Amino acid sequence: MTTCPYCKTGNHPQAVKCAACGSWIGAHTPAREWERAREGKMIAGVCRGLANRFDLPVAALRVAFLLTLLFGAGIGLLVYIAFWIAMPLEPEPAALPTQPIVTPPPAPGTQIQSPPSA
């Protein structure tokens, strides 16, 4: 049985992700997916997404696309548009509740039980 390093839950011996918390169990986490970025994008998020995927500086990728656009007979534009179409937009982060979660008071006449003391 494999134990998750984060939540200490037991998992199947060949498990790659924890069944309880969803974190990666293996020694090496897989590379990020090919996704266009929602934050920090200039046009469509292609360069930011590629920079996140390959751990490269986003400015270097933007300069590379610009140079291939100017000096590569427009190849950079075609490649950028192809990536724009092929790369999905990264999912939106989970929204937090806008109002606090409040437990309603017990009904009148209901006995409130306290947890057993240890």
Which tens digit of pLDDT belongs to each residue from 9-61?
Answer: 888 888 877 888 777 776 655 556 778 887 878 888 888 888 888 888 989 99
Burial degree of 45 (CB within 10 A; 0-12, 13-18, 19+):
buried
Instruction: Give me the numbers of helices (H) and strands (E) for the chain, helices first please.
Output: 3, 2
- Rounded to two decimals, the pTM is 0.51
The pLDDT score that the predictor gives to residue 2 is 78
The pLDDT score that the predictor gives to residue 41 is 81
Which tens digit of pLDDT belongs to each residue from 59-96?
Answer: 999 999 899 988 988 888 898 899 899 888 887 776 66
The pLDDT score that the predictor gives to residue 97 is 65
Contacts with 75 (C-beta within 8 Å, 6 or more apart), sequence order:
68, 69
